[in-house]
Structure 1
Amino acid sequence: MTDPGTEPQGPTIRDRRRIDPETLQVREPQPEAAAPAAEAVEGEVADAAAPAAEAPAVDPQLAALEQSLSERTLDLQRLQAEYVNYKRRVDRDREVSRAAGVESVLRDLLAVLDDVRSAREHGELTGAFKAVGEGVEKVTARHGLTSFGEAGEPFDPQVHEALMHAYAEDVTEPTCVQVLQVGYRVGERVLRPARVAVAEPAAPSDDQSSSEQS
Protein backbone atom coordinates (compact mmCIF):
# COMPACT_ATOMS: atom_id res chain seq x y z
CA MET A 1 0.00 0.00 0.00
CA THR A 2 1.01 3.51 -0.62
CA ASP A 3 1.64 5.84 2.29
CA PRO A 4 -0.91 8.63 2.06
CA GLY A 5 1.72 11.10 3.33
CA THR A 6 4.00 10.53 0.37
CA GLU A 7 3.52 11.73 -3.18
CA PRO A 8 3.35 9.08 -5.88
CA GLN A 9 6.61 8.54 -7.78
CA GLY A 10 6.57 8.67 -11.57
CA PRO A 11 6.55 11.07 -14.52
CA THR A 12 4.67 14.35 -14.20
CA ILE A 13 2.36 15.14 -17.13
CA ARG A 14 1.44 18.75 -17.81
CA ASP A 15 -1.36 19.70 -20.14
CA ARG A 16 0.02 22.52 -22.35
CA ARG A 17 -2.95 22.73 -24.69
CA ARG A 18 -4.20 26.32 -25.22
CA ILE A 19 -7.84 25.26 -25.56
CA ASP A 20 -9.56 23.33 -22.83
CA PRO A 21 -10.98 20.15 -24.42
CA GLU A 22 -13.94 20.15 -22.06
CA THR A 23 -15.00 23.83 -22.11
CA LEU A 24 -13.46 24.74 -25.48
CA GLN A 25 -12.20 27.98 -23.87
CA VAL A 26 -8.75 29.52 -24.41
CA ARG A 27 -6.59 28.91 -21.41
CA GLU A 28 -4.52 31.67 -19.78
CA PRO A 29 -0.70 31.12 -19.95
CA GLN A 30 0.85 29.47 -16.90
CA PRO A 31 3.14 32.00 -15.03
CA GLU A 32 5.00 29.15 -13.29
CA ALA A 33 6.77 28.16 -16.53
CA ALA A 34 8.71 31.45 -16.73
CA ALA A 35 9.99 31.21 -13.20
CA PRO A 36 12.58 28.44 -13.76
CA ALA A 37 14.00 30.27 -16.80
CA ALA A 38 14.35 33.51 -14.83
CA GLU A 39 16.05 31.62 -12.02
CA ALA A 40 18.46 30.02 -14.53
CA VAL A 41 19.38 33.44 -15.98
CA GLU A 42 19.97 34.87 -12.51
CA GLY A 43 22.15 31.87 -11.69
CA GLU A 44 24.28 32.37 -14.83
CA VAL A 45 24.77 36.08 -14.04
CA ALA A 46 25.79 35.21 -10.51
CA ASP A 47 28.24 32.58 -11.75
CA ALA A 48 29.78 35.07 -14.23
CA ALA A 49 30.24 37.71 -11.55
CA ALA A 50 31.73 35.28 -9.06
CA PRO A 51 35.30 35.10 -10.53
CA ALA A 52 35.63 38.89 -10.55
CA ALA A 53 34.61 39.10 -6.96
CA GLU A 54 36.97 36.29 -5.98
CA ALA A 55 40.18 37.73 -7.67
CA PRO A 56 43.27 36.91 -5.57
CA ALA A 57 44.92 39.78 -3.74
CA VAL A 58 48.42 40.95 -4.80
CA ASP A 59 51.18 39.91 -2.41
CA PRO A 60 53.05 43.11 -1.34
CA GLN A 61 56.28 41.16 -0.75
CA LEU A 62 56.16 39.65 -4.26
CA ALA A 63 55.52 43.08 -5.83
CA ALA A 64 58.50 44.53 -3.96
CA LEU A 65 60.73 41.69 -5.17
CA GLU A 66 59.64 42.22 -8.78
CA GLN A 67 60.37 45.97 -8.55
CA SER A 68 63.79 45.30 -7.02
CA LEU A 69 64.59 42.79 -9.78
CA SER A 70 63.61 45.33 -12.47
CA GLU A 71 65.84 48.01 -10.90
CA ARG A 72 68.82 45.62 -10.64
CA THR A 73 68.34 44.59 -14.27
CA LEU A 74 68.45 48.24 -15.41
CA ASP A 75 71.58 48.84 -13.31
CA LEU A 76 73.25 45.80 -14.90
CA GLN A 77 72.36 47.00 -18.41
CA ARG A 78 73.79 50.47 -17.71
CA LEU A 79 76.97 48.94 -16.28
CA GLN A 80 77.39 46.73 -19.33
CA ALA A 81 76.93 49.68 -21.71
CA GLU A 82 79.51 51.73 -19.78
CA TYR A 83 81.99 48.83 -19.91
CA VAL A 84 81.56 48.45 -23.69
CA ASN A 85 82.18 52.18 -24.22
CA TYR A 86 85.20 52.11 -21.89
CA LYS A 87 86.71 49.11 -23.70
CA ARG A 88 86.17 50.82 -27.05
CA ARG A 89 87.96 53.97 -25.85
CA VAL A 90 90.84 51.94 -24.40
CA ASP A 91 91.27 49.99 -27.63
CA ARG A 92 91.24 53.19 -29.67
CA ASP A 93 93.77 54.90 -27.39
CA ARG A 94 95.97 51.82 -27.43
CA GLU A 95 95.96 51.77 -31.24
CA VAL A 96 96.77 55.49 -31.41
CA SER A 97 99.68 55.04 -28.97
CA ARG A 98 101.01 52.06 -30.90
CA ALA A 99 100.84 53.95 -34.22
CA ALA A 100 102.59 56.96 -32.67
CA GLY A 101 105.38 54.75 -31.34
CA VAL A 102 105.88 53.05 -34.72
CA GLU A 103 105.98 56.42 -36.51
CA SER A 104 108.55 57.73 -34.04
CA VAL A 105 110.88 54.78 -34.69
CA LEU A 106 110.40 54.98 -38.45
CA ARG A 107 111.12 58.70 -38.42
CA ASP A 108 114.46 58.02 -36.70
CA LEU A 109 115.33 55.47 -39.41
CA LEU A 110 114.77 57.83 -42.36
CA ALA A 111 118.40 59.00 -42.29
CA VAL A 112 119.58 55.37 -42.43
CA LEU A 113 117.27 54.70 -45.40
CA ASP A 114 118.67 57.78 -47.15
CA ASP A 115 122.21 56.40 -46.75
CA VAL A 116 121.13 53.00 -48.08
CA ARG A 117 119.44 54.59 -51.10
CA SER A 118 122.44 56.81 -51.82
CA ALA A 119 124.85 53.85 -51.58
CA ARG A 120 122.67 51.87 -54.00
CA GLU A 121 122.61 54.72 -56.54
CA HIS A 122 126.42 54.97 -56.43
CA GLY A 123 126.96 51.20 -56.59
CA GLU A 124 128.37 51.03 -53.07
CA LEU A 125 125.69 48.80 -51.54
CA THR A 126 127.73 45.61 -51.36
CA GLY A 127 128.83 42.96 -48.88
CA ALA A 128 127.58 43.09 -45.31
CA PHE A 129 126.37 46.66 -45.73
CA LYS A 130 124.00 45.46 -48.46
CA ALA A 131 122.50 42.77 -46.22
CA VAL A 132 122.01 45.25 -43.37
CA GLY A 133 120.52 47.90 -45.66
CA GLU A 134 118.07 45.52 -47.28
CA GLY A 135 117.11 44.19 -43.84
CA VAL A 136 116.28 47.70 -42.61
CA GLU A 137 114.18 48.36 -45.72
CA LYS A 138 112.21 45.13 -45.20
CA VAL A 139 111.50 45.90 -41.54
CA THR A 140 110.31 49.44 -42.27
CA ALA A 141 108.17 48.22 -45.19
CA ARG A 142 106.56 45.62 -42.92
CA HIS A 143 105.43 48.47 -40.64
CA GLY A 144 103.81 50.31 -43.56
CA LEU A 145 106.58 52.75 -44.55
CA THR A 146 106.59 53.62 -48.28
CA SER A 147 108.60 56.12 -50.30
CA PHE A 148 107.24 58.54 -52.89
CA GLY A 149 108.47 61.27 -55.20
CA GLU A 150 109.42 60.87 -58.87
CA ALA A 151 110.56 63.26 -61.55
CA GLY A 152 107.78 64.30 -63.90
CA GLU A 153 104.88 64.16 -61.48
CA PRO A 154 102.80 67.32 -60.81
CA PHE A 155 103.94 69.42 -57.89
CA ASP A 156 101.70 69.01 -54.84
CA PRO A 157 102.51 71.29 -51.89
CA GLN A 158 100.82 68.77 -49.57
CA VAL A 159 103.50 66.13 -50.20
CA HIS A 160 106.34 68.03 -51.94
CA GLU A 161 108.80 70.59 -50.64
CA ALA A 162 110.25 72.80 -53.38
CA LEU A 163 113.97 73.48 -52.84
CA MET A 164 114.67 74.77 -56.35
CA HIS A 165 112.53 76.70 -58.84
CA ALA A 166 112.86 77.31 -62.58
CA TYR A 167 110.87 77.87 -65.77
CA ALA A 168 110.63 75.39 -68.62
CA GLU A 169 108.92 75.41 -71.98
CA ASP A 170 108.07 71.69 -72.02
CA VAL A 171 105.75 71.77 -68.96
CA THR A 172 102.16 72.99 -68.76
CA GLU A 173 101.89 73.11 -64.96
CA PRO A 174 104.22 73.20 -61.95
CA THR A 175 106.13 69.93 -62.26
CA CYS A 176 108.75 68.09 -60.22
CA VAL A 177 111.69 67.93 -62.64
CA GLN A 178 114.19 66.53 -60.12
CA VAL A 179 113.85 64.65 -56.84
CA LEU A 180 116.54 65.76 -54.42
CA GLN A 181 115.32 63.61 -51.53
CA VAL A 182 112.45 61.10 -51.59
CA GLY A 183 109.55 61.45 -49.20
CA TYR A 184 108.10 58.83 -46.87
CA ARG A 185 104.61 58.11 -45.61
CA VAL A 186 102.81 55.58 -43.42
CA GLY A 187 99.41 54.93 -44.87
CA GLU A 188 98.04 58.39 -45.69
CA ARG A 189 100.21 60.16 -43.10
CA VAL A 190 103.28 61.91 -44.52
CA LEU A 191 106.36 61.49 -42.32
CA ARG A 192 108.58 63.57 -44.58
CA PRO A 193 107.70 65.45 -47.80
CA ALA A 194 109.66 64.78 -50.97
CA ARG A 195 112.22 67.54 -51.60
CA VAL A 196 112.20 68.46 -55.26
CA ALA A 197 113.17 70.98 -57.91
CA VAL A 198 110.09 72.52 -59.52
CA ALA A 199 109.69 73.93 -63.02
CA GLU A 200 106.81 76.12 -64.15
CA PRO A 201 105.69 77.00 -67.66
CA ALA A 202 107.97 79.67 -69.16
CA ALA A 203 106.68 83.20 -68.77
CA PRO A 204 105.91 84.93 -72.09
CA SER A 205 108.64 87.25 -73.33
CA ASP A 206 108.11 90.96 -73.90
CA ASP A 207 107.95 90.47 -77.71
CA GLN A 208 105.30 87.76 -77.37
CA SER A 209 103.29 89.92 -74.96
CA SER A 210 103.40 92.86 -77.40
CA SER A 211 102.29 90.68 -80.35
CA GLU A 212 99.42 89.19 -78.33
CA GLN A 213 98.23 92.66 -77.27
CA SER A 214 98.35 94.00 -80.86
Structure 2
Amino acid sequence: MTQTKNTKQEKQTQKPENEAKEKERSKMESQNQNEMKQDEKGSADADQTTDQKESTDKEFAELKEKLAQTEDMLLRERAEFQNYRKRTIKEKGDIERFVMQKILTELLPALDSFDQVFHTEGKNPSEEVQRVLEGVKLIQKQLWEAFTKFNVEEFDPTGDLFDPNGMEALTRIESDEVENEIVDQVYQKGYKIGDHIVRPARVAVKVPIKKEQTENQQNKQEDNKNNQEEKE
Protein backbone atom coordinates (compact mmCIF):
# COMPACT_ATOMS: atom_id res chain seq x y z
CA MET A 1 0.00 0.00 0.00
CA THR A 2 2.77 2.30 0.94
CA GLN A 3 4.66 1.44 -2.30
CA THR A 4 1.64 2.25 -4.44
CA LYS A 5 1.28 5.56 -2.70
CA ASN A 6 4.92 6.41 -3.35
CA THR A 7 4.63 5.52 -7.01
CA LYS A 8 1.61 7.75 -7.31
CA GLN A 9 3.46 10.61 -5.69
CA GLU A 10 6.44 10.15 -8.04
CA LYS A 11 4.14 10.30 -11.06
CA GLN A 12 2.54 13.45 -9.73
CA THR A 13 6.03 14.96 -9.22
CA GLN A 14 7.30 13.98 -12.73
CA LYS A 15 4.25 15.42 -14.48
CA PRO A 16 5.13 19.10 -13.86
CA GLU A 17 8.74 18.40 -14.80
CA ASN A 18 7.70 16.84 -18.09
CA GLU A 19 5.41 19.75 -18.81
CA ALA A 20 8.26 22.17 -18.13
CA LYS A 21 10.58 20.26 -20.42
CA GLU A 22 7.92 20.16 -23.10
CA LYS A 23 7.43 23.90 -22.82
CA GLU A 24 11.20 24.45 -23.00
CA ARG A 25 11.47 22.25 -26.06
CA SER A 26 8.55 24.03 -27.74
CA LYS A 27 10.13 27.35 -26.92
CA MET A 28 13.46 26.30 -28.43
CA GLU A 29 11.76 24.95 -31.54
CA SER A 30 9.86 28.21 -31.88
CA GLN A 31 13.10 30.19 -31.53
CA ASN A 32 14.81 27.98 -34.10
CA GLN A 33 11.92 28.46 -36.50
CA ASN A 34 12.04 32.23 -35.96
CA GLU A 35 15.78 32.25 -36.56
CA MET A 36 15.33 30.19 -39.72
CA LYS A 37 12.62 32.56 -40.91
CA GLN A 38 14.85 35.55 -40.18
CA ASP A 39 17.74 33.90 -42.02
CA GLU A 40 15.48 33.18 -44.97
CA LYS A 41 14.16 36.74 -44.88
CA GLY A 42 17.69 38.15 -44.63
CA SER A 43 18.80 35.99 -47.54
CA ALA A 44 15.78 37.09 -49.57
CA ASP A 45 16.45 40.74 -48.69
CA ALA A 46 20.09 40.32 -49.68
CA ASP A 47 19.09 38.74 -52.98
CA GLN A 48 16.59 41.53 -53.56
CA THR A 49 19.23 44.17 -52.74
CA THR A 50 21.70 42.51 -55.11
CA ASP A 51 19.09 42.41 -57.87
CA GLN A 52 18.22 46.06 -57.28
CA LYS A 53 21.92 47.04 -57.36
CA GLU A 54 22.49 45.12 -60.60
CA SER A 55 19.40 46.73 -62.11
CA THR A 56 20.55 50.19 -60.98
CA ASP A 57 24.06 49.62 -62.36
CA LYS A 58 22.59 48.49 -65.67
CA GLU A 59 20.31 51.53 -65.89
CA PHE A 60 23.23 53.83 -65.00
CA ALA A 61 25.41 52.25 -67.70
CA GLU A 62 22.60 52.67 -70.26
CA LEU A 63 22.08 56.30 -69.26
CA LYS A 64 25.82 56.94 -69.43
CA GLU A 65 25.97 55.44 -72.92
CA LYS A 66 22.97 57.51 -74.07
CA LEU A 67 24.59 60.64 -72.60
CA ALA A 68 27.83 59.92 -74.48
CA GLN A 69 25.88 59.36 -77.72
CA THR A 70 23.94 62.60 -77.20
CA GLU A 71 27.13 64.53 -76.48
CA ASP A 72 28.79 63.08 -79.59
CA MET A 73 25.74 63.99 -81.68
CA LEU A 74 25.77 67.56 -80.33
CA LEU A 75 29.48 67.92 -81.10
CA ARG A 76 28.90 66.68 -84.65
CA GLU A 77 25.96 69.05 -85.11
CA ARG A 78 28.04 71.94 -83.79
CA ALA A 79 30.95 71.11 -86.12
CA GLU A 80 28.59 70.84 -89.10
CA PHE A 81 26.98 74.17 -88.22
CA GLN A 82 30.38 75.87 -87.92
CA ASN A 83 31.45 74.44 -91.28
CA TYR A 84 28.17 75.59 -92.82
CA ARG A 85 28.66 79.06 -91.35
CA LYS A 86 32.21 79.25 -92.71
CA ARG A 87 31.05 78.11 -96.15
CA THR A 88 28.24 80.66 -96.11
CA ILE A 89 30.58 83.50 -95.14
CA LYS A 90 33.09 82.46 -97.82
CA GLU A 91 30.40 82.15 -100.49
CA LYS A 92 29.01 85.55 -99.54
CA GLY A 93 32.49 87.06 -99.76
CA ASP A 94 33.12 85.40 -103.13
CA ILE A 95 29.84 86.74 -104.51
CA GLU A 96 30.55 90.27 -103.25
CA ARG A 97 34.06 90.17 -104.70
CA PHE A 98 32.81 88.86 -108.04
CA VAL A 99 30.17 91.60 -108.31
CA MET A 100 32.63 94.31 -107.28
CA GLN A 101 35.21 92.95 -109.72
CA LYS A 102 32.70 93.25 -112.56
CA ILE A 103 31.82 96.81 -111.54
CA LEU A 104 35.46 97.81 -111.11
CA THR A 105 36.41 96.32 -114.48
CA GLU A 106 33.73 98.41 -116.18
CA LEU A 107 34.89 101.56 -114.37
CA LEU A 108 38.63 101.12 -115.01
CA PRO A 109 38.62 103.31 -118.16
CA ALA A 110 36.99 106.12 -116.16
CA LEU A 111 39.56 105.77 -113.36
CA ASP A 112 42.37 105.89 -115.93
CA SER A 113 40.80 109.01 -117.41
CA PHE A 114 40.86 110.68 -114.00
CA ASP A 115 44.59 110.00 -113.71
CA GLN A 116 45.26 111.30 -117.22
CA VAL A 117 43.36 114.51 -116.51
CA PHE A 118 45.41 115.23 -113.39
CA HIS A 119 48.70 114.34 -115.09
CA THR A 120 48.07 116.58 -118.08
CA GLU A 121 46.73 119.62 -116.24
CA GLY A 122 48.81 122.75 -116.77
CA LYS A 123 50.95 124.38 -114.14
CA ASN A 124 48.83 127.54 -114.16
CA PRO A 125 45.28 126.51 -115.17
CA SER A 126 42.62 129.15 -115.62
CA GLU A 127 39.97 129.63 -112.98
CA GLU A 128 37.40 127.84 -115.12
CA VAL A 129 39.67 124.84 -115.67
CA GLN A 130 40.54 124.80 -111.99
CA ARG A 131 36.85 124.68 -111.03
CA VAL A 132 36.32 121.76 -113.42
CA LEU A 133 39.33 119.93 -111.98
CA GLU A 134 38.05 120.45 -108.45
CA GLY A 135 34.70 118.95 -109.47
CA VAL A 136 36.46 115.98 -111.06
CA LYS A 137 38.58 115.46 -107.93
CA LEU A 138 35.43 115.50 -105.79
CA ILE A 139 33.82 112.83 -107.99
CA GLN A 140 36.99 110.73 -107.82
CA LYS A 141 37.09 111.07 -104.02
CA GLN A 142 33.45 109.98 -103.64
CA LEU A 143 34.05 107.05 -105.96
CA TRP A 144 37.04 105.87 -103.94
CA GLU A 145 35.14 106.24 -100.67
CA ALA A 146 32.63 103.74 -102.07
CA PHE A 147 35.38 101.42 -103.36
CA THR A 148 37.17 101.40 -100.01
CA LYS A 149 34.12 99.84 -98.35
CA PHE A 150 34.65 96.79 -100.57
CA ASN A 151 38.44 96.53 -100.01
CA VAL A 152 39.27 97.92 -103.46
CA GLU A 153 42.83 99.25 -103.65
CA GLU A 154 45.02 100.79 -106.31
CA PHE A 155 48.77 100.21 -106.28
CA ASP A 156 51.68 102.02 -107.88
CA PRO A 157 54.79 99.79 -107.79
CA THR A 158 57.31 102.42 -108.93
CA GLY A 159 60.73 101.47 -107.55
CA ASP A 160 59.58 98.00 -106.43
CA LEU A 161 60.98 94.67 -107.53
CA PHE A 162 59.14 93.43 -110.59
CA ASP A 163 56.48 90.85 -109.67
CA PRO A 164 54.79 89.11 -112.61
CA ASN A 165 51.88 88.11 -110.36
CA GLY A 166 50.68 91.70 -110.07
CA MET A 167 52.53 93.51 -112.85
CA GLU A 168 52.71 93.46 -116.63
CA ALA A 169 55.99 94.58 -118.20
CA LEU A 170 55.25 96.55 -121.37
CA THR A 171 58.90 97.53 -121.86
CA ARG A 172 62.24 96.31 -120.52
CA ILE A 173 65.25 98.59 -120.36
CA GLU A 174 68.71 97.17 -119.78
CA SER A 175 70.72 99.13 -117.23
CA ASP A 176 73.98 98.75 -115.36
CA GLU A 177 72.45 100.70 -112.47
CA VAL A 178 70.40 97.76 -111.19
CA GLU A 179 71.18 94.22 -110.08
CA ASN A 180 67.55 93.04 -110.13
CA GLU A 181 64.50 93.81 -112.23
CA ILE A 182 63.13 97.10 -110.89
CA VAL A 183 59.96 98.95 -111.93
CA ASP A 184 61.16 102.19 -113.50
CA GLN A 185 57.85 103.69 -114.66
CA VAL A 186 54.14 102.95 -114.26
CA TYR A 187 51.97 103.45 -117.34
CA GLN A 188 48.75 102.32 -115.64
CA LYS A 189 48.16 101.67 -111.96
CA GLY A 190 47.11 98.24 -110.79
CA TYR A 191 43.87 97.46 -108.96
CA LYS A 192 43.02 94.67 -106.53
CA ILE A 193 40.25 93.55 -104.20
CA GLY A 194 41.87 92.20 -101.06
CA ASP A 195 44.60 89.89 -102.37
CA HIS A 196 42.86 89.30 -105.71
CA ILE A 197 44.37 91.20 -108.64
CA VAL A 198 41.69 92.78 -110.85
CA ARG A 199 44.16 94.41 -113.22
CA PRO A 200 47.95 94.19 -113.05
CA ALA A 201 49.98 97.38 -113.08
CA ARG A 202 51.40 98.06 -116.55
CA VAL A 203 55.00 99.10 -116.18
CA ALA A 204 58.43 99.69 -117.67
CA VAL A 205 61.15 97.61 -116.04
CA LYS A 206 64.86 98.19 -115.69
CA VAL A 207 66.74 94.91 -116.01
CA PRO A 208 70.43 94.28 -115.27
CA ILE A 209 72.75 93.91 -118.25
CA LYS A 210 73.88 90.33 -118.70
CA LYS A 211 77.45 89.57 -117.70
CA GLU A 212 78.45 88.47 -121.21
CA GLN A 213 77.14 91.69 -122.71
CA THR A 214 79.01 93.72 -120.09
CA GLU A 215 82.26 91.90 -120.86
CA ASN A 216 81.73 92.40 -124.61
CA GLN A 217 81.11 96.11 -124.09
CA GLN A 218 84.25 96.40 -121.96
CA ASN A 219 86.29 94.54 -124.56
CA LYS A 220 84.89 96.74 -127.30
CA GLN A 221 85.74 99.87 -125.33
CA GLU A 222 89.29 98.61 -124.78
CA ASP A 223 89.68 97.81 -128.50
CA ASN A 224 88.49 101.28 -129.43
CA LYS A 225 90.91 102.78 -126.94
CA ASN A 226 93.81 100.73 -128.31
CA ASN A 227 92.95 101.69 -131.89
CA GLN A 228 92.96 105.35 -130.97
CA GLU A 229 96.34 105.00 -129.26
CA GLU A 230 97.81 103.27 -132.32
CA LYS A 231 96.57 106.04 -134.58
CA GLU A 232 98.16 108.61 -132.35
Q: How far apart in 2 are the matches of 1:100 and 1:91?
A: 14
The amino acid across from 1:57 in the alignment is T
Equivalent position of 1:206 in the other structure = 216
Q: Which runs of 5+ in 2 are unaligned?
A: 1-41, 122-131, 223-232
Query: How big is the shift at 1:81?
Result: 1.0
Query: How big is the shift at 1:179?
Result: 0.6
TM-aligned CA distance change 1:209 to 1:173, over 3 Å: farther
Counterpart of 1:77 (choices 46, 71, 76) is 71
Query: How big is the shift at 1:138?
Result: 1.0
| CA contact 1:176–1:197 (8 Å) conserved in 2 | yes
Query: How big is the shift at 1:104?
Result: 1.7
Equivalent position of 1:57 in the other structure = 50
Counterpart of 1:146 (choices 125, 143, 153) is 153
The amino acid across from 1:163 in the alignment is L
Q: How far apart in 2 are the matches of 1:90 and 1:149?
A: 38
Give TM-score scaled by structure 2 length: 0.57
Q: How far apart in 2 are the matches of 1:207 and 1:135?
A: 54
Q: How far apart in 2 are the matches of 1:165 and 1:95?
A: 43
| CA contact 1:151–1:179 (8 Å) conserved in 2 | yes
Q: How far apart in 2 are the matches of 1:158 and 1:137?
A: 24
Q: Which runs of 5+ in 1 are unaligned?
A: 1-49
The amino acid across from 1:89 in the alignment is N
TM-aligned CA distance change 1:98 to 1:125, over 3 Å: farther
Matches within 5 A, 1:21-40: none
Q: How far apart in 2 are the matches of 1:188 and 1:80?
A: 37
The amino acid across from 1:147 in the alignment is E
Equivalent position of 1:39 in the other structure = none
Matches within 5 A, 1:149-164: 149-164=156-171
SS at match of 1:62: helix
Residues 14-44 of structure 1 show CA distances to partners (whole Å, capped at 9, x for unaligned) of: xxxxxxxxxxxxxxxxxxxxxxxxxxxxxxx
Equivalent position of 1:96 in the other structure = 90
Q: How far apart in 1 are the matches of 2:219 and 2:71?
A: 77
Q: How far apart in 1 are the matches of 2:133 and 2:82?
A: 47
| CA contact 1:116–1:125 (8 Å) conserved in 2 | no
The root-mean-square deviation of aligned C-alpha atoms, in Å, is 3.0
Q: How far apart in 2 are the matches of 1:169 and 1:155?
A: 16
Equivalent position of 2:100 in the other structure = 106
Counterpart of 2:114 (choices 106, 113, 116) is 116
Query: How big is the shift at 1:197?
Result: 1.0
Give TM-score scaled by structure 1 length: 0.62
SS at match of 1:178: strand
Query: How big is the shift at 1:109?
Result: 1.3
1:87 aligns with 2:97: no
Q: How many residues are treated as equivalent by the alignment?
A: 160
The amino acid across from 1:94 in the alignment is T
Q: How far apart in 1 are the matches of 2:173 and 2:183?
A: 10
The amino acid across from 1:58 in the alignment is D
Q: How far apart in 1 are the matches of 2:183 and 2:175?
A: 11
